[in-house]
């Protein structure tokens, strides 16, 4: 999937990424390809190391032919062979080096946002001083006003501001960052557009969380994932298997030379290419899985790179790979499925309670709730005509802040009367603890609100329940489509919500998630996650709040939002710079694409070998068993042109497939069986057929250009 044309970034980003294909990058990669010929570096890629050894061996045979003069062989054939063997190694190195260079350039773009900026640091005595961002220490507090650049990663501890994060995310729409709640995280290098915030710096210059993650990304290119290790092992084993096939060919070809010599009654023994070491080296190189061996590293790096381009920083390649295996996705209802802007839409008082009393109590109780929902209750109460004076908190009243654990907020009036509003079960528990009884009519009201998919909040005054505030949320546009997509990808979708069962069930049904967890506390979420994992499933979740941190750490893929708290970002294994909750879909797609590309190119690489046999085997024995020409269904020009064509095809296919390795094989959510059928046809059957055409074509071209005898 091409992220640049996806829902993020658009043109600006497209331009930025185009730079990554620039000539300097390619030049750097070319240089690096030669450096990587050093045996100690080349050794890290066992398959290509075998090719390098073969190339050196062939070189030795050229030298010998020049010194001793091997009359029977044309030296030019050896030289051509050797050139292509070296090119094979260089193409492979180029693929890796190019992917690495792109990754580094990518990281550099992100890092470029980290330049020294002026900062206004708050002194302990309350005054301020001008410093540069380099001098900032964790724990320092800075003031940032509209138009200024935030000097370092930190948390807003006071104020609300709109912030332009496009320097990091490429997204031009400003975002709101405010103290308290889960939208307090700000990133160094982003610009405050309005208002003024006080920020507590959490990381010194160059040590910010993103800096560390970028360093990880750059360092991680050499770190192999378990799947890569297993694949490298298999590729090495295949190299060994083909060594087992090729080495005995020498004595076998010798056997044929012997009996044909004696049959023809010749005084000088017949020779064939079957006992010619450089030719057998060429055969070996054609057979061992050089294509995938050359591109394996590039595929892995490109996977990380694709994540980076989707504005996701993964802490390791392993995390990206795991994303492909995810079975269950936990989706927070708020922000992911719904817009997350729940607004109070109605006040439903219990029988006998004046609606005004309910409005006043609800508004008072929301003073301690700085979430938009809490504020919307105040707004709704004002809009309903409640006098502002009535809902101003009286002096001496104690504000009880909203927390995710208690799931309620409120105020203790100066006379000690508690007013509370919160999730129904939380309020009911609270009242029961106080020894109060809960009136019977309340279930009806809750059910009424919940049946419409809205969230009911209970409001209590003292020991008395006043009624229900109805919070309405709107579904995100096309969320059903995205969830259906997840299902087609084979993922189980679970909606997590603090709502009661009925509300949750209604919304779950409407958007089509497989299951939901209602009245979820962070603990319940963690419990649920563990239960899924113990059933053998891999779970992905997204989170931003500090209370999400344990679950993010426990999840197999924990995607933290960049706007989230520091704790959440530390706990997850990926950070989404766009803070877009639907990003999980991209993450899973990138993971699947990575694995698919690997599988497709491996299959292609092995399937290619069939055609090479049909070219090379008759050529090997053209000097002894001419009737084997019957197998040469490509009708190649001559034995040497057949072998050269196979070697050239084998080398050229590497650069031809670099774009596939970097862009990835497109993932389609067709279900595993259809996908497998499709890919088997394209890469398996295609892998068998393509080289027949390619080798014939190269042979024809070489003959046309009089390059072969």
Output helix, strand, coil percentages for the chain, rounded to the nearest 5. 55, 15, 30
DSSP for residue 666? P
Residue from 223, 417, 626, 656 in contact with other proteins (CB under 8 A): 626
- Smallest distance, Å, CB 705 to other proteins? 18
d(CA 327, CA 494): 11
- Smallest distance, Å, CB 311 to other proteins? 22
Residue from 382, 617, 689, 690 in contact with other proteins (CB under 8 A): 617
Backbone angles phi, psi at 610, to 5 degrees: -55, -50
User: What stretches of 384-478 show up as alpha helix (H) in DSSP?
Assistant: 388-391, 424-433, 442-451
Nearer to other proteins, 169 or 624 (CB): 624
Residues 369, 370, 375, 376: is their CA dihedral positive or negative?
Answer: negative
Q: Report if residue 269 touches other proteins, rule: CB under 8 A.
A: no
Residue bearing tokens 């990575």: 594
Residues 557-616 that bind other proteins (CB under 8 A): 591-593, 595-596, 598-600, 602-603, 606-607, 609-610, 613
x/- track of binding to other proteins for residues 635-674 (CB under 8 A): ---xxx------------------------x-x---xxx-
Residues 311-330 that bind other proteins (CB under 8 A): 321, 324-325, 327
Q: Report if residue 707 touches other proteins, rule: CB under 8 A.
A: no
Q: Report if residue 625 touches other proteins, rule: CB under 8 A.
A: yes
- Smallest distance, Å, CB 540 to other proteins? 13
Provide the 3-class DSSP secondary structure of residue 472.
strand
Residues 42-81 that bind other proteins (CB under 8 A): 71-74
Q: Report if residue 279 touches other proteins, rule: CB under 8 A.
A: yes
Residue from 115, 176, 247, 633 in contact with other proteins (CB under 8 A): 247
Q: Report if residue 485 touches other proteins, rule: CB under 8 A.
A: no
Nearer to other proteins, 186 or 253 (CB): 253
Residue from 254, 447, 655, 663 in contact with other proteins (CB under 8 A): 254
d(CA 564, CA 544): 4
Residue bearing tokens 């009884």: 437
Q: Report if residue 538 touches other proteins, rule: CB under 8 A.
A: yes
Tokens of 503: 């509300």
Residues 284-303 that bind other proteins (CB under 8 A): 287
Distances (CA, A) of 686 to 291, 690, 692: 15, 6, 10
Residues 6+ apart with CB under 8 A from 245: 287
Q: Give strand ranges (E) for 316-454.
A: 328-332, 343-349, 398-400, 408-412, 418-422
User: What is the gyration radius of the CA atoms in the chain, in angstroms?
Assistant: 34
Distances (CA, A) of 272 to 469, 629, 639: 91, 14, 10
Provide the 3-class DSSP secondary structure of residue 455.
strand
Q: How far is CA 534 from the centre of its chain?
A: 24
Q: Report if residue 272 touches other proteins, rule: CB under 8 A.
A: yes
- Smallest distance, Å, CB 166 to other proteins? 32
Q: Report if residue 22 touches other proteins, rule: CB under 8 A.
A: no
134: number of Cβ within 10 Å: 14
Q: Report if residue 271 touches other proteins, rule: CB under 8 A.
A: yes
Do the beta carbons of residue 149 and residue 128 sit within 8 Å?
Answer: no
**Catalytic site residue 515?**
no
> 82, 182, 332, 699: which is the annotated catalytic residue?
332
Residue from 67, 244, 389, 704 in contact with other proteins (CB under 8 A): 244
- Smallest distance, Å, CB 237 to other proteins? 4
Nearer to other proteins, 549 or 574 (CB): 574
- Smallest distance, Å, CB 272 to other proteins? 7
Residues 94-153 that bind other proteins (CB under 8 A): none
Instruction: Please identify every residue annotated as catalytic.
Output: 332
């Amino acid at each position: 999937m091409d992220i640049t044309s996806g829902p993020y970034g658009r043109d600006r980003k497209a331009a930025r990424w185009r730079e990554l294909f620039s000539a300097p990058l390619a030049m750097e990669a070319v240089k690096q390809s030669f450096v990587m010929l050093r045996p100690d570096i080349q050794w890290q890629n066992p398959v290509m190391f075998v090719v390098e050894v073969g190339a050196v061996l062939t070189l030795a045979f050229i030298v010998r032919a020049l010194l001793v003069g091997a009359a029977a062989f044309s030296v030019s054939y050896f030289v051509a062979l050797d050139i292509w063997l070296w090119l094979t190694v260089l193409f492979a190195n180029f693929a890796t080096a190019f992917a690495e260079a792109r990754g580094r350039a990518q990281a550099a773009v992100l890092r470029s946002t980290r330049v020294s900026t002026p900062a206004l640091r708050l002194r302990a005595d309350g005054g301020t001083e001008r410093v540069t961002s380099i001098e900032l220490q964790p724990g320092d507090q800075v003031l940032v006003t509209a138009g200024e650049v935030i000097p370092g990663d930190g948390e807003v501890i006071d104020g609300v501001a709109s912030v332009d994060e496009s320097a990091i995310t490429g997204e031009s729409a400003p975002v709101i960052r405010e103290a308290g709640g889960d939208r307090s995280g700000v990133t160094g290098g982003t610009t405050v557009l309005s208002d003024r915030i006080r920020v507590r710096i959490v990381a010194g210059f160059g040590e910010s969380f993103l800096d560390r993650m970028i360093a990880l990304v750059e360092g991680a290119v050499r770190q192999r994932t378990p799947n890569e290790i297993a694949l490298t092992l298999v590729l090495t084993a295949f190299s060994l298997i083909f060594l087992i096939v090729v080495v005995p060919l020498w004595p076998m070809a010798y056997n044929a030379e012997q009996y044909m010599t004696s049959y023809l009654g010749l005084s000088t023994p017949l020779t064939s290419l079957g006992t010619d070491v450089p030719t057998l080296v060429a055969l070996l190189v054609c057979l061992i899985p050089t294509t995938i061996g050359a591109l394996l590293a590039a595929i892995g790096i490109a996977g990380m790179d694709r994540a980076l381009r989707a504005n996701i920083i993964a802490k390791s390649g392993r995390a990206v790979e795991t994303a492909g295996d995810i079975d269950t996705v936990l989706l927070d209802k708020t922000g992911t499925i719904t817009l997350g802007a729940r607004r109070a839409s109605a006040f439903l008082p219990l029988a006998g309670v004046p609606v005004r009393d309910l409005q006043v109590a609800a508004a008072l109780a929301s003073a301690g709730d700085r979430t938009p929902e809490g504020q919307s209750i105040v707004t709704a109460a004002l809009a309903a005509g409640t006098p502002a004076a009535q809902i101003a908190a009286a002096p001496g009243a104690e504000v009880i802040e909203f927390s995710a654990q208690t799931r309620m907020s409120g105020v203790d009036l100066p006379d000690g009367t508690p007013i509370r509003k919160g999730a129904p079960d939380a309020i009911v528990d609270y009242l029961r603890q106080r020894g109060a009884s809960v009136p019977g009519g309340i279930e009806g009201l809750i059910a009424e609100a919940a049946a419409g998919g809205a969230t009911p909040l209970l409001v209590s005054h003292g020991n008395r329940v006043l009624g229900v505030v109805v919070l309405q949320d709107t579904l995100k546009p096309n969320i059903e489509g995205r969830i259906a997509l997840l299902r087609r990808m084979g993922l189980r979708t679970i909606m997590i919500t603090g709502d009661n069962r009925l509300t949750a069930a209604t919304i779950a049904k409407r958007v089509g998630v497989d299951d939901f967890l209602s009245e979820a506390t962070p603990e319940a979420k963690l419990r649920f996650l563990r239960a899924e994992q113990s059933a053998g499933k891999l779970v992905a979740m997204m989170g931003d709040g500090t209370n999400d941190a344990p679950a993010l750490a426990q999840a197999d893929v924990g995607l933290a939002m960049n706007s989230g708290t520091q704790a959440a970002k530390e706990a997850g294994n990926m950070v989404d710079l766009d803070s877009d909750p639907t990003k999980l879909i991209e993450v899973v797609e990138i993971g699947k694409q990575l694995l698919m590309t690997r599988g497709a190119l491996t299959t292609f690489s092995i399937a290619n070998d069939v055609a090479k046999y049909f070219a090379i085997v008759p050529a090997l024995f053209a000097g002894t068993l001419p009737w084997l020409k019957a197998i040469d269904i490509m009708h190649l020009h001559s034995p040497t042109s057949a072998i050269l064509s196979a070697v050239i095809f084998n080398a050229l296919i590497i650069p031809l497939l670099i774009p596939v390795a970097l862009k990835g094989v497109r993932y389609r959510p067709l279900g595993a069986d259809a996908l497998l059928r499709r890919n088997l046809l394209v890469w398996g059957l295609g892998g068998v057929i393509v080289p027949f055409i390619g080798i014939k074509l190269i042979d024809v071209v070489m003959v046309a250009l009089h390059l072969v005898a």
